[in-house]
Structure 1
Amino acid sequence: MSDDIVITGMGVITPIGGDVETFWSANLEGRSGIVLEERMDTTGLPCGWTAGLIPEDVKAKVAAEHGAPDRSWGDSLMLASVDQALADAGLGELPAEDGPAALVYARVWPGPTGSFPQDYVTHMEDLAERYDRIGNEPSAVLEHLRGRHLPPETRDLSAYPTEIADRLGTAVIPVRLEATCSGGLRAIAEAARLLRSGRARYAVVSASVSRNTPYVLSQYGQLMALSRWKGDPARASMPFDRRRTGMVINESAGALVLETAEHAARRGMTQSYAVIGGWGLAVDTRHMTAPSVDMIERVMRTALEQAGAHPDDVDTVNAHGTSTRLNDVTEARALHQVFGERTADLDVSAVKSLTGHGSAASGVVETAVAALTLCRGVIPPVTTTTEPDPACAVRTSLTPVRRPVGTVLKNSFGFGGQYASMLFRRPAAPRPAPQPA
């Protein structure tokens, strides 16, 4: 038991809720946070008309409580979710002899606001001006940059690790990961590795994303990866549905507190959300964007093997489920290879159906759903999947599925051939739902 790594605190800022309980309720109710993208002109784009946007009242609260002139919007979102997670874990300042904490985080784009087109303007203008003057010759570029003051839009000014250390009252071992859309799960795996190695007794994992800009939309548009749905915006993301046309990008953040079970018990925290059973990670260089059935199968089997589990032990899958034509059918085929005939009866959830895709933040945010699924015995519905694709043939539900859940397998994959899968187990003493005030 003392070797277990447990999740003792969680925090989220998402398009469907600015705290864990609101977010969880929205998942069970099928309440979407995907709306029309009206902050910029998308008329010239073949897709990208919808986005998962954090509600204005939640953004205003984050800005008031965690905003600062020299702090990026991504850092503000992460700090807001981290403060929730620390409070949820009851983690105040610990004695100095408790040792350093681990901080593992993934953040996309360090611009001042993160959400608006001007974030990329200075960066792109700077690149164009430099290229016109000196091209891409390495020594000339180095000489051009030497001693030059760079604006915030073109460099990472993050003081985030220092701010977390101040909050914890101890030194931190900071690790920043860049693993595209698998970054959230990889961050959890890295934190668990640091805990198991004894280098830290507890860890903060966090991720944020805010990338809704014309530049990003045009990039995804060229890949034909974004939803071209022209109906109700709330139905634009429909994982495993035969009508799916692509993913919807979002802005979001999530944070988790991980501890050894021994450390949690020593400070009086005997209840937790989930036990981390095992994980599988892989990088495939065969294709930059197209997912591989074999690699998805590999990371799922590795997660099971590391956890000492059999495919029959898995109660439900929290899917990557992006709503793209290729990813969904590829993930589904890998599920069939791992679970065989049992796939038809294996409940699958897909959080992106309501939130859209939050890059690395999705792995952390969706892990919160996996953990609550374990604690509360409820598998969230996929309410936008009303016409299941027979080419996928996975089992989703339009209503919550209420039954005991002992294990959840969580998948996250990303461009650049990044793959991650993680098995979570129900703890012996699950965290109960909060009592109504």
Structure 2
Amino acid sequence: MTDTVTGAAADALTDALTGEDIVITGMGVVTPIGATVEDFWAANLAGRSGVVAEDRMDLGGLPCGWAAGLIPEDIRKEVAERWGGPDRTWGDTLLHSVVDQALTDAGITGPVGGEAAGLVWSRVWPGPSGSFPQDYAVHFGELGRRYRRIGNEPAAVLENLRSRRLSAEASDHSAFPVELAGRLGVPLIASRVEATCSGGLRSIAEAVRLLRLGRVEVAVVAVSVSRNTQYVLSQYGQLMALSRWKGDPALSSMPFDRRRSGMVINESAGALVLETAGHAARRGAGSHAVVGGWGLAVDTTHITAPQVGMVERVMRTAIAGSGLTPDDIDTVNAHGTSTKLNDITEARALHRVFGERTAELDVCAVKSLTGHGSAASGVVETVAAALTLTRGVVPPVVTCTEPDPACAVKTSLTPVVRPVATVLKNSFGFGGQYASMVFKRPAQPRQAPVR
């Protein structure tokens, strides 16, 4: 349950964070493969992809990035009609949708009680460009008209800014924490985490800190990501990070497959409700998972290339912080981005940690169906990890039909039904961000709803 810090600081952190279990009691998602937890889970088990051709913009000039994990239009419309508003970005709209699901799932329908609640959140979208290409065009069109009208004379520019009302998409303003505080009926201890693709797990770790330090008894983790524009896709394209697959778009993301050629960007959101085990028990709330230990690290070796040693380090830290050994881990919910470098790096680190067990250790990779949702992926994939624990099923990786022998990890084309007591979840990101976390099966896990 410690980060990758050493010496007296590590001892102090360990002492401060010991205490009762922290459990996940509520979950919510909006993803390309489902806008409810049950629909998302059913799609995972069925191998139903949400990766489609990106036809909302002209990508003819790009050598890659023509496929994306997109929230279907009917779901987008339904979410926007229920949770949208003139001062809400699409990112905030998604946050409200998934948090409502998670609170409802946790049985929190009114004030939570206590002096405060926790909120750790992130909303990722490409600056003033909004969720759609037309937002990006409008923003730069406004900049062009302003320049032709007043140039760069400082006083005129300042006066223009004073008189102009920026849209929510352009201003990065968000009333989400205030609105959530009103719904929960208590002040929030809120922090916004920006940690690229490791941000989801880092947000969970920050929420657990608040709970274990006794600052709050309930904490909400919420992340939404929507970043599909020509500009963002061209940036990832220049990094040679996007899939160059030219066949069926549903096969564009193929983690640990020898044909993999890059990641697929998606739009998605996820939310979790975390509580101390005692608080959940007093409410009579069931648990999806117990949060074990975690490992976090930032490495400055390379801004985009993951390092095997750092991946190994955070996994070992997460396992040791859970009071476990590598032999106690039943399955791995991989970062699995489908890039040449990430998958082989993660696989090599798995071999270092688990040795000969790697050949028999079931590995799932949710991004094979959804694409990569940056910080949201850590939360969305934690939902899959929790359901793996309570349902006893490891989701398949249906796009890995030609496993890369250089990776040599065990994926399956069909769901693997087996008892699962522990899941190791990985998330890594640009900027040298690394995160790994262990989740454990609760003593009395939540039962699947009757469908």
Mapped contact 1:72–1:113 kept (Cα < 8 A): no
Q: Which residue of 1 aligns with 2:50?
A: 33
1:319-358 superposed matches below 5 A: 319-358=334-373
Is residue 68 of structure 2 the alignment partner of residue 51 of structure 1?
yes
* Structure 2 counterpart of 1:35, one-letter code: V
Which runs of structure 2 are paired with 1:90-101 in the superposition (5 Å)?
90-94=107-111, 96=113, 98-101=114-117
CA displacement at 1:112 relative to structure 2 = 8.3
Q: Name the amino acid aligned to 1:277.
A: G
**C-alpha RMSD of the superposition:** 2.3
Task: Name the structure 2 match of 1:431.
Answer: 446
> Over residues 127-167 of structure 1, what are the superposed CA-to-partner deviations in whole Å (9 max), with x where a residue is unaligned?
8888x9769xxx99x97998574623432110000111111
Q: 1:307 to 1:144 in 2, by over 3 A?
A: farther
* Deviation readout 1:290-327 (Å, 9 max, x if unpaired): 11111111110110111111000000000000000110
Mapped partners of 1:243, 1:180: distance in 2: 26
* 1:414 equivalent in structure 2: 429
State whether structure 2 residue 394 is matched by structure 1 residue 359: no
Could you tell me which residue of structure 1 aligns to residue 404 of structure 2? 389
Specify the alignment match of 1:308 in structure 2: 323
Match of 2:248 in 1: 232
Whole-Å separation in 2 of the counterparts to 1:16 and 1:176: 26
Could you say what secondary structure the match of 1:390 adopts? coil
1:61 match: 78
Other-structure match for 2:231: 215
Q: Which residue of 2 aligns with 1:372?
A: 387
Partner of residue 198, structure 1: 214
Aligned residue number for residue 40 of structure 2: 23
Deviation at 1:123, TM superposition (A): 5.0
Structure 1: give runs of 5+ residues left out of the alignment: none
After superposing the two structures, state which structure 1 stretch, 105-114 or 190-199, moved more.
105-114
Deviations 1:348-386 (A, max 9, x none): 000000000001000000000000000000000000000
Aligned to 1:74: 91
Q: What is the aligned-residue identity percentage?
A: 70
Give the Å deviation of 1:171: 1.1
Deviations 1:378-435 (A, max 9, x none): 0000000000001111100000000000000000011011100000000001001001
Please state how far the C-alpha of 1:92 moved relative to its aligned partner.
2.1
Aligned counterparts of 2:194 and 2:428: Cα–Cα separation in 1: 13
Equivalent position amino acid for 2:227 in 1: R
1:6 CA drift (Å):
0.2
**Is 2:174 the counterpart of 1:158?**
yes
Deviation by residue 1:23-58 (Cα, 9 ceiling, x = unmatched)? 000000000000000000111100011010111111
> 2:20: which partner in 1?
3
> Structure 1-normalised TM-score?
0.94
Q: 1:430 to 1:227 in 2, by over 3 A?
A: same
Further displaced range: 105-114 or 84-93: 105-114
In structure 2, the CA distance between the partners of 1:111 and 1:220, relative to structure 1 (3 Å rule), is closer
**Are 2:128 and 2:170, in contact at CA under 8 Å, matched by a contact in 1?**
no
Distance 1:373 1:245 in 2: 28
Matching residue's letter, 1:176? R
| Residue pair 1:239, 1:323 contacting (<8 A) in 2 also | yes
Report the CA distance between 1:111 and its aligned residue: 6.4
Q: Distance in 2 between matches of 1:322 and 1:106?
A: 20
CA distance in 2, matches of 1:124, 1:370: 41
**Alignment partner of 2:386: what SS?**
helix
Structure 1 distance, partners of 2:28, 2:82, is 15
1:89 is aligned to: 106
Question: Are 2:125 and 2:131, in contact at CA under 8 Å, matched by a contact in 1?
Answer: no
Counterpart CA distance in 2 for 1:197 and 1:145 is 47
- The 1-side partners of 2:126 and 2:369 are apart by 26
Task: Identify the match of residue 294 of structure 2 among 253, 275, 279.
Answer: 279
My pick for the range that moved more, 119-128 or 21-30, is 119-128
The answer to whether the 8 Å contact 2:128/2:136 transfers is: no
Number of matched pairs: 430
Which of 185, 203, 215 is the aligned partner of 2:201? 185
Residues 224-275 of structure 1, C-alpha deviations (whole Å, 9 max, x = no match): 1001111111111000000001000011100000000000111111x20000
Is the 8 Å Cα contact of residues 74 and 110 (structure 1) preserved in structure 2? Answer: no
SS in 1 for 2:397: coil
Q: Does 1:290 align with 2:312?
A: no
Q: Does 1:13 align with 2:49?
A: no
Alpha-carbon offset, residue 172 of structure 1: 0.9
1:110 and 1:157 in contact (8 A); partners too: no
**TM-score calculated relative to the size of structure 2:** 0.91
Q: Report deviation, 1:120.
A: 2.9
